[in-house]
Structure 1
Amino acid sequence: MFALVDCNNFYTSCERVFDPNLQGKPVAILSNNDGCVISRSDEAKSIGLPMGAPIFKWERFCKQNNIRILSSNYPLYGDMSARVMRILEQFTPDVEVYSIDEAFLEFRGFDKYDFDDYGHQIRNRILKWTGIPTCVGIAPTKALSKIANKVARKFPKETGGVYVIDSEEKRIKALKWIKLGSVWGIGYRLQKRLNAKGCKTGYDFTQLSDSWVRKNFSITEWKLKKDLQGVSKLELDVRETKRAIATTRSFEYTYSDIENIKERISTFASSCAEKLRTQGSSCHMVVVMLSSDRHKKDSEQHRGSKTVVFPYPTDSTLTITNAAVEAIKTIFKPGIKYKRAGVIVTGLVPTDNHQLDLFVGENPKHKPLMHTIDHLNKKFKADKIKLGNQDLERTWKMRQERLSPKYTTKISDIITVK
């Protein structure tokens, strides 16, 4: 059996744990730079605030409906997510963290368990220990557990936040209930092709013949169909080494001077290099991107990118950052107001197992230096050690005018009980 545990309105729920005044009130969480709505409470949804709404267009609507608007507090959300995932590991060793607010669990050797009761144990422990409300869907396959979770979320009073598909009758009923576009793994294009075949629900999809699905789609769609039929074909994903690592961000403001842009690129490249070392990889090339604000149609537009190939694989912050900064100099055009930039490291190979070059190689001083920097930053839980051309105050310069305190990750923001 598989379970899908999903945190309800996760970002909003994290804020409510530490600010009970938000309970029962409409709340909206904004994206980077306070751009658009990325999370809403059920109350905000019922009022009509759409997901992805640009806040500058919906500010008046939010004020009229007393919707509390907050900036994204990623340190808080990340810490609360880690707490939830650690709790889930107490119920089974087989856990796949699917996203920041949901995870798949596999139950091997749990044949004698009452899964409805076990699901309520999971939900109650997370709520008691973290204050985060969740829904739990349990079924014989991953795809069906997703649907079971949607049932639990849609009918909280009837299910108590937990729903188990443990019979053929429940499986068919759930598949006939769920619309095709709401089935996990069926995107817009696939839905359009299946609609042309007469499929409107998940059940309709499972009635197609295996041969037709294999002929017209890939093995992935066939596995999904079998999963929905109760035959497990989608296993828990094993965490694999990434083939490329990217750090892309919008700036807090538009920049037309190269010094500010160089500082941002240096910070992005440093982040990529740190991630490389974390997964034990080195890169053969770095791609640097820079673009203006496409939403400002009256301003001159420019977008460019440059790829730098290294003569040897590297995970050194110094090497990668220097290459990225030199690349941005060739992309930058004076007079353009730039809004977004990014750094991608690719061509990844294991740091401890790659082809060496007889004549060129990394400066041998870089390895111990990077090791020391990583050790200190990990020890003090912050980026205390940075390059001289980085902003020494902040990692990302984002507009966060409505930011709540970092209740669990910053000592000065811890709640004081009087």
Structure 2
Amino acid sequence: MSKQEPTFALIDCNSFYASCERVFRPDLAKVPIVVLSNNDGCVIARSYDAKPFIKMGEPYFQIKHKLKQHGIVPFSSNYALYGDMSERVMSLIEAMVPAVEVYSIDEAFADLTGIGGLDTLGREIRAQVLRGTGIPVGVGIATTKTLAKLANHTAKRLQAQTGGVVNIIDPAKRDWVLRNTDVAEVWGVGRKMKLHLDALGIKTAMDLAKADPWTLRKKFSIVIEKTARELAGTSCLELDEPDQLKQEICCSRMFGKRLTELPPIKEALATYMMRASEKLRAQGSLCKKVRVCIRTGMFNPEEAKYANGVVVDLPYPTDDVRLLTKAAVDAVDHIYRPGFKYSKAEVMLLNLCQPGEYTDDLFAVSQPAEATRVMTVLDQINGRWGRGTLRSASVPTNPDWGMRREMMSQSYTTKLDQLWKVACV
């Protein structure tokens, strides 16, 4: 019995951050939107109708007049909302296909090998996600992951003609897409590689598909070789297994303002450790070492610069936020220097292991069972009533050093007191 040709779909949310904001603001359905980075720094997402006027990465303070001129509404980044909406989208997709690889917060590959009626399935996925979450998606279907990416790009680029679903299993349709796509749009090529490929006369995706793979490998890399083979229809990339457990967990943030005193820096580290320890317990791991870093701003020529970090060994592998916080807060005493304006702090959990994986001597101290029970109750309460309901005493509720998010939308899906309200008329 011959092996079935693999079939992949890429489901990608359209302007995901902006779409999340529109779900709960129907009054903005036809209003252009941009989403800003931490501390309302620069543009990191744009709705389709904002793209002609605003470039990615433009600093917010420089484009305020342009936003007002074109009626573009800015939002501070609301990662809790985006993360929750992403989980809802992925859950709907997973219920409709045999296997899924969540590739990023707003896109997923699906294995459709052996399934018939692919165009109909693509439209059903799109309709189900839109109905269930309010998020529009594009669906690209092909025989390789790279071609599926290209099909998805075409579905978005020609939204009116395609209805958001493009299937290029048929060689004639595949070749049309390859001929009409610039090589820079191919997954994994990028601007720098485009310049090298242009020099070889490779200007379209079709040119790359027809190029000799071995020559590309010798001249560039195995990645470009595989890309060319995938464009030609040979599947080189399989659906990845579910994410492995993280070997390191990091939480870092820019402060909302420069800090010069040690106490607020310790508050920030305690806050970041709270989040890092939640991630640690979520994957069922224990931590053996903690790294703490602080630094000043690095780009203002008028500010003195300083950065330092320290690694602390813990007395035993632990997921206890109290012990982890104490280690981090005590450690910063060794690296803090007065006279500097600090802009960022970071905590990193290192040497992660699963309970029972580590080997220690017979008399070594291990985490008390009481601590494990306390952490379980902590997570249960916060899981039910919202993050931060129960927290370490050193974690403030509304610190003045907190990240600037002056235009942040409500946490419509993660906080009971911010649920969407519908008035009956």
Tell me if the contact between 1:224 and 1:234 (Cα under 8 Å) persists in the aligned partners: no
Distance in 1 between residues matched to 2:403 and 2:149, nearest whole Å: 34
1:52–1:415: structure 2 CA closer, same or farther, 3 Å change rule? same
Distance in 1 between residues matched to 2:315 and 2:210, nearest whole Å: 55
Secondary structure, in 3 states, of the residue corresponding to 2:189? coil
1:79: which partner in 2?
Answer: 84
1:417 corresponds to which of 409, 417, 423: 423
2:335 corresponds to which of 331, 335, 338: 331
Tell me if the contact between 2:289 and 2:311 (Cα under 8 Å) persists in the aligned partners: yes
Distance in 1 between residues matched to 2:127 and 2:400, nearest whole Å: 37
TM-score, structure 2 normalization: 0.91
2:74: which partner in 1?
Answer: 69
Deviation at 1:172, TM superposition (A): 2.5
1:340: which partner in 2?
Answer: 344
1:346–1:224: structure 2 CA closer, same or farther, 3 Å change rule? farther
Distance in 2 between residues matched to 1:144 and 1:162, nearest whole Å: 14
| Count of matched residue positions in the alignment of Structure 1 and Structure 2 | 415
2:304 corresponds to which of 278, 300, 305: 300
TM-score, structure 1 normalization: 0.92
Distance in 1 between residues matched to 2:226 and 2:109, nearest whole Å: 17
Deviation at 1:128, TM superposition (A): 2.3
Distance in 1 between residues matched to 2:35 and 2:305, nearest whole Å: 30
Q: Which amino acid aligns with 2:48?
A: D
Distance in 2 between residues matched to 1:251 and 1:275, nearest whole Å: 21
Secondary structure, in 3 states, of the residue corresponding to 1:231? coil
1:320: which partner in 2?
Answer: 324
Runs of 4+ in structure 1 over 6 Å off: none
Distance in 2 between residues matched to 1:39 and 1:210, nearest whole Å: 35
- Residue by residue, what CA displacement relative to the aligned partner does 1:292-315 show, whole Å, maximum 9, x if unpaired? 122332121111122223354333
Fraction of identical pairs, as percent: 40
1:391–1:98: structure 2 CA closer, same or farther, 3 Å change rule? same
Tell me if the contact between 1:267 and 1:395 (Cα under 8 Å) persists in the aligned partners: no
Deviation at 1:134, TM superposition (A): 1.4
1:249 corresponds to which of 225, 239, 253: 253
1:310: which partner in 2?
Answer: 314
Distance in 1 between residues matched to 2:361 and 2:281, nearest whole Å: 21
Unaligned runs of 5+ in 1: none
* 1:114 paired to 2:120: no
Q: Which amino acid aligns with 1:63?
A: K
Deviation at 1:196, TM superposition (A): 4.2
Tell me if the contact between 1:76 and 1:409 (Cα under 8 Å) persists in the aligned partners: yes
1:126 corresponds to which of 126, 129, 134: 129
Deviation at 1:174, TM superposition (A): 1.9
2:57: which partner in 1?
Answer: 52
1:363–1:242: structure 2 CA closer, same or farther, 3 Å change rule? closer
Secondary structure, in 3 states, of the residue corresponding to 1:417? coil
Distance in 1 between residues matched to 2:268 and 2:134, nearest whole Å: 37
Distance in 1 between residues matched to 2:395 and 2:283, nearest whole Å: 23
Distance in 2 between residues matched to 1:178 and 1:104, nearest whole Å: 21
Distance in 1 between residues matched to 2:401 and 2:81, nearest whole Å: 16
Deviation at 1:219, TM superposition (A): 4.2
1:310–1:207: structure 2 CA closer, same or farther, 3 Å change rule? farther
1:306–1:180: structure 2 CA closer, same or farther, 3 Å change rule? farther
Distance in 2 between residues matched to 1:79 and 1:211, nearest whole Å: 44
